[in-house]
């Protein structure tokens, strides 16, 4: 559906006085983040992510966005994950010529992630045409490397903690959200009101990132709710991983750890390094990083030590113990090597990437172990494996699953229910309006009820097809004048 909101409300219409909100992704689901803040001065797009997971969602990546691109005056990215930045080449391809704001690490990581995404899209289209398992003739990539290169000059780097004017009555400030390096929440000040977009909220006590920061209480909060119904486990991820590795080694199996190249891969590498240093897993156990992207992301993070709590030296030592495989052709050699090993490869939800090659060969053997370490969205292979599927489809073929699957519950880049409530408490005041995005329906409903019971707010779950008025600017200005007169 195109141009759903061609009304004269909001937008840059002269008479508009209201500020509105609408979501075009990550509404009652966890991927495809795209939210618009409509102000009288400018329409702002917050995040521009790809839908992932079930086909009915992925198909939306091919549709025109439901908003008027020509009215968007600024795109503000919270962080570099694909479900927050992966649609940018399509947006630019459809005519967006404005600025794309982000922090310095997010800029480098986004470039890396978009290039990788284009490569995967091109490879998938090529394979589908070669082996004929697509309904589309010919199968086309969602975007190409050339499309990605075209958008990079629109990127604008900004400093967190600095207020920036993006229109006459609109300014914004980024604050660290503790989710991955570079990730931020964004507060927009429109006239005298504050609207806070949480982005993805990290853990309060992360092993390598600072805790999420808070600014002045906001009038409106749009917050994520991925783990709105869950508390992360109390067992330390280190000991969970140690148990899974050692029990696999005892029976001569291999350990596969699919993970996101940015953030999660570095966290896993750090834990494996610590386990080896402490003698809890064999020092001689080979650890393969079969992900050039994770290796490149680690290099980028080394350039931004201020965004992590780890020292540069600690990062270098962690990376030194790895065998990094750059070439795809070498993957089969690693697979054929009979010795037990650990393999870290993308993608995190097994929707693509080199991990699938390992899965084809290793999933059928019950001695092997697959360790899931992040959120597994509905419809992904990761979710199916988490739910103990007996077979898995890769490149149009079914492979039996006999390998053990272990899920590391305590190793999440997202806050759990308790941490989300604490985050909201620190960011809000009595009259704050709260909207929930970025969560599956069950998680969102649990969090909505929990917020009402513990904090007394009536949080609202955003639907994809609604535009909501947040406040009126004239009223706000009039109120300001009245309160001045009263003094
Ligand atoms: Zn994220």
383-400 pLDDT, tens digit each: 999 999 999 999 889 999
Q: Which residues contact 347 (CB under 8 A, 6 or more apart)?
A: 258, 260, 261, 353, 355
Domain with CATH 3.60.15.10 in the chain: 18-230+415-486
Beta-strand relationship, 43-46 and 34-38: antiparallel
322 Cα: distance to centroid of ligand 1 (angstroms): 25
Closest CA to 19 of 435, 429, 300: 435
81 Cα: distance to centroid of ligand 1 (angstroms): 5
35 Cα: distance to centroid of ligand 1 (angstroms): 15
Measured over the CA atoms of residue 354, residue 355, residue 361 and residue 367, the dihedral's sign is positive
18-230+415-486 CATH choice from 3.30.70.270, 3.30.9.10, 3.30.420.10, 3.60.15.10: 3.60.15.10
Q: Distance (Å, rounded) from C-alpha 339 to C-alpha 329?
A: 19
Q: Distance (Å, rounded) from C-alpha 194 to C-alpha 221?
A: 9
310 Cα: distance to centroid of ligand 1 (angstroms): 20
200 Cα: distance to centroid of ligand 1 (angstroms): 5
Q: Distance (Å, rounded) from C-alpha 398 to C-alpha 392?
A: 5
Q: Which residue has the tokens 């992510």?
A: 49
157 Cα: distance to centroid of ligand 1 (angstroms): 19
- Write down the pLDDT at residue 92: 97
179 Cα: distance to centroid of ligand 1 (angstroms): 7
Q: Distance (Å, rounded) from C-alpha 351 to C-alpha 373?
A: 14
Q: 104 with 157: CB under 8 angstroms?
A: yes
209 Cα: distance to centroid of ligand 1 (angstroms): 14
Which residues place a Cβ less than 5 A from the ion ligand 1?
Answer: 81, 200
Q: Distance (Å, rounded) from C-alpha 317 to C-alpha 51?
A: 36
375 Cα: distance to centroid of ligand 1 (angstroms): 10
38 Cα: distance to centroid of ligand 1 (angstroms): 24
60 Cα: distance to centroid of ligand 1 (angstroms): 19
250 Cα: distance to centroid of ligand 1 (angstroms): 35
- Write down the pLDDT at residue 16: 67
List strand residue ranges (DSSP E) for 376-461, in order. 391-394, 397-400, 404-407, 433-437, 460-461
Task: Give the pLDDT confidence of 453-466 residue by residue, as tens digits.
Answer: 999 999 999 999 78
Domain with CATH 3.40.50.10890 in the chain: 237-407
297 Cα: distance to centroid of ligand 1 (angstroms): 15
Which of helix, strand or coil describes residue 113?
Answer: helix
Give the pair of three-digit tokens for residue 155: 């990127």
CATH number of 237-407: 3.40.50.10890
- Low-confidence residues of the chain: pLDDT under 50: 1-15, 476, 478, 481-482, 485-487
Dihedral angle at the C-alpha atoms of 200, 205, 210, 211, nearest 10 degrees? 60
Closest CA to 425 of 201, 159, 189: 201
- Write down the pLDDT at residue 4: 40
31 Cα: distance to centroid of ligand 1 (angstroms): 9
301 Cα: distance to centroid of ligand 1 (angstroms): 16
285 Cα: distance to centroid of ligand 1 (angstroms): 31
Which of helix, strand or coil describes residue 155?
Answer: strand
Beta-strand relationship, 397-400 and 391-394: antiparallel
- Within 10 Å of residue 286's Cβ, how many Cβ atoms? 15
- Write down the pLDDT at residue 13: 47
């Amino acid at each position: 559906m195109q141009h759903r909101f061609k009304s004269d409300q909001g937008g840059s219409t002269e008479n508009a006085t209201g500020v509105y909100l609408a979501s075009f992704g990550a509404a009652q689901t966890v991927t495809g983040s795209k939210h618009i803040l409509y102000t009288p001065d400018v329409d702002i797009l917050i995040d521009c992510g790809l839908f992932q997971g079930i086909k009915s969602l992925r198909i939306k990546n091919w549709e025109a966005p439901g908003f008027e691109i020509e009215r968007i005056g600024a795109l503000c990215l919270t962080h570099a994950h694909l479900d927050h930045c992966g649609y940018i080449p399509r947006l630019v391809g459809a005519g967006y010529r404005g600025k794309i704001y982000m922090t310095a690490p997010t800029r480098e990581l986004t470039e890396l992630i978009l290039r990788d995404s284009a490569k995967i899209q091109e490879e998938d289209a090529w394979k589908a045409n070669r082996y004929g398992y697509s309904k589309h003739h010919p199968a086309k990539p969602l975007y190409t490397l050339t499309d990605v290169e075209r958008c990079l000059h629109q990127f604008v780097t900004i400093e967190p903690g600095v207020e920036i004017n993006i229109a006459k009555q609109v300014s914004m400030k980024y604050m660290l959200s503790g989710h991955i390096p570079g990730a931020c929440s964004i507060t927009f000040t429109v006239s005298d009101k504050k609207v806070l977009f949480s982005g993805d909220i990290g853990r309060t006590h992360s092993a390598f990132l600072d805790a999420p920061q808070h600014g002045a209480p906001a009038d409106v909060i749009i917050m994520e709710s991925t783990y709105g119904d869950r508390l992360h486990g109390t067992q330390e991820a280190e000991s969970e991983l140690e148990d899974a590795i050692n029990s696999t080694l005892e029976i001569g199996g291999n350990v596969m750890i699919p993970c996101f190249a940015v953030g999660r891969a570095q966290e896993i590498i750090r834990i494996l390094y610590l386990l080896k240093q402490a003698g809890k897993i064999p020092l001689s156990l080979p650890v393969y990083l079969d992900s050039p992207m994770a290796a490149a992301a680690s290099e980028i993070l080394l350039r931004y030590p201020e965004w992590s709590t780890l020292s540069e030296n600690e990062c270098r030592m962690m990376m030194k113990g790895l065998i990094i495989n750059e070439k795809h052709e070498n993957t089969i050699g690693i697979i054929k090597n009979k010795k037990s090993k650990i393999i870290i490869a993308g993608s995190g939800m097994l929707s693509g990437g080199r991990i699938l090659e390992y899965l084809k060969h290793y999933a059928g053997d019950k001695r092997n172990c697959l360790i899931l370490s992040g959120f597994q969205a509905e419809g992904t292979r990761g979710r199916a494996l988490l739910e103990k599927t007996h077979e898995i489809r890769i490149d149009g073929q079914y492979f039996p699953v006999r390998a053990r699957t272990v899920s590391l519950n305590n190793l999440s880049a997202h806050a759990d229910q308790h941490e989300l409530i604490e985050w909201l408490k620190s960011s809000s005041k009595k009259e704050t309006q709260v909207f929930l995005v970025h969560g599956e329906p069950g998680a969102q409903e649990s969090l909505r009820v929990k917020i009402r019971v513990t904090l007394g707010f009536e949080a609202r779950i955003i639907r994809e097809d609604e535009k909501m008025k947040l406040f009126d600017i004239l009223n706000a200005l009039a109120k300001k004048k009245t309160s001045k007169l009263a003094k």
